Structure 1
């Protein structure tokens, strides 16, 4: 009996020691991770980085990742330049505008791309149920919701209006967060909206209609956004930049191969219904950046007066 009791006590002590060692190992591993904060927009575009964090793609490369939501690309650019974020996710127009203005920024990886399907892309110009507007050519003088002014929404909506034969110069853009747009359309605060998923499906489930696929109208397989950092980070922490870039690329590959996990993870950082989750139209997540499409955005941005001077793509793109 005594021997049995002693053996049991020994097992308990060994288990306790092993548990303590496991806790210490985890604590040591956590202490060795480099903490970084990344500015993102709570839309479907950034599903890969959320999946990558959950799957350990960043932790396995020594990165303790925090993701911070912002309304659009412009405040994320400011956050990276100001040191609030080590890396950021931003649409290409905001990055081109920042580069043209002299900001020391550098893209490190592709972010998201149009799937190229007219009427079935993850981005669209929409109107509410019962709207008399039937074509993008009728948007002249109308109030159009975009998430940020002088950004990708402006550029691509104008291009859809041009392609439909309308006047792109007298559009009335109204800035608001994507989740606010369905309500603004229903209440008549705006006449139309530029939306991306999951807001697009939220609008469509309320009877909204698609006027145009603005990304498809702008360029074939448009590279919509990029992950980026500052030149200072690239110079001072090149190993971290390499690790982050590798983790992002693995995350993009994983998202492209696991669409159902994309649908699930979007619900962890946005408020969506099951109907919207199932209905969402997915973008493309290629690893390669489509440079000709970004050149097209740069040309349109210059035509629309968004840039202070012509952007230099070689200084921005990797």
Structure 2
């Protein structure tokens, strides 16, 4: 049965509310003393495995976070809505997610605040760090040929719904004409090769790894919607933002400094990838590097939110002036 965006989104958001509200009181004070008297505030952060995680690791390793007055305790996640309950319950101080999952939560009353921009895709299509990929022997050359088939995504009800939905509509199909299957990025290529799914939406470095296995790119979903599209966001609970403004500001400074550094010297970031991403040096030379801007991109958020309403992921737009504080 195909995924129904409208009903599935509503059930997912309701489940998030119940899970998050059942986690007890939020432990909103960051460890490490909040940066007072020269001490660094230590923030627990989870970010999506792959390029987003590498960005934060690089920011920490290069001292941008320390210079801003914060230390990050970073763990990998599957991304999407999976981190939202942990955030609202206080198990995480900051979560790296995607803008769709956060806006769904906010539309259902979850007290979420975007404090910084996460990953954005390149302004150049060929450098888009996402790719819709099929098996080496697949006859599929365009998303229009995937109608009724299974497509792997890292999590359900996230940015994939929007970018793939837009591509499907551009190809003359409805936005829910494929069945999304949730798989971790590292497992997608094998699922495509085995025929368990017809295609998969991957991000770097998994795109380059899949290319080495012979998988073929049939589309660039992120840049197809908008070159430079903001995909990711860093989010905190409203309570955390109110009670820890200095820690939030320090995190924002750390993210902005790292974003500026990578934009000015992408080769330095690429050179660090073998260590921070446990990548082979030859693979690190090939991966497409994301764009990071530091702040949130209002044009991207408005575009994505309009499509979320159109596709039934949310009933009406949320107040971005309230949700976005960075």
Q: Shorter-chain TM-score: which interval? A: 0.7 to 0.9
Alignment partner, residue 138 of structure 2: 131
Q: Which of these residues, 293, 297, 301, is aligned with residue 300 of structure 2?
A: 293
Q: How does 1:35-184 map to 2 (within 5 A)?
A: 35-184=42-191
TM-score, scaled to structure 2: 0.83
- Distance apart, 1:116 and its partner CA: 2.7
Aligned residues: 290
2:229 maps to 1:229: no
1:117 is displaced (CA, Å) by: 2.4
- The aligned counterpart of 2:202 is 195
Listed one character per residue, the Cα deviations across residues 38-94 of structure 1 (whole Å, up to 9, x for unaligned) are: 111121134332111112222233323110111112122222111111111111111
C-alpha change, 1:274 and 1:57, in structure 2 (3 Å) is closer
Gaps of at least 5 residues in structure 2 are 1-35
Which deviations, in whole Å up to 9, do the C-alpha atoms of 1:82-135 show, x marking residues without a partner? 111111111111111111111111111111211132343111211111111111
SS at match of 2:232: strand
**Equivalences for residues 231-246 of structure 1 within 5 A:** 231-246=238-253
Q: 1:172 to 1:103 in 2, by over 3 A?
A: same
Contact 2:124 2:227 in 1 (8 A): no
Which of the residues 264, 268, 285 maps onto 1:261?
268
Check 1:159–1:30 CA distance in 2 against 1; reply closer, same or farther (3 A cut): same
Contact 1:137 1:167 in 2 (8 A): no
| Gapped regions of structure 1 (runs ≥ 5) | 1-28
> Quick check: which has more Rg, 1 or 2?
1
* 2:3 corresponds to: none
- Aligned equivalents of 1:125 and 1:237: distance in 2? 40
Tell me which moved more, 279-288 or 86-95: 279-288
Task: Give the superposition deviation at 1:244.
Answer: 1.3
CA shift, 1:308, in A, is: 4.8
Residue 23 of structure 1: aligned partner: none
* TM-score normalised by L of structure 1: 0.85
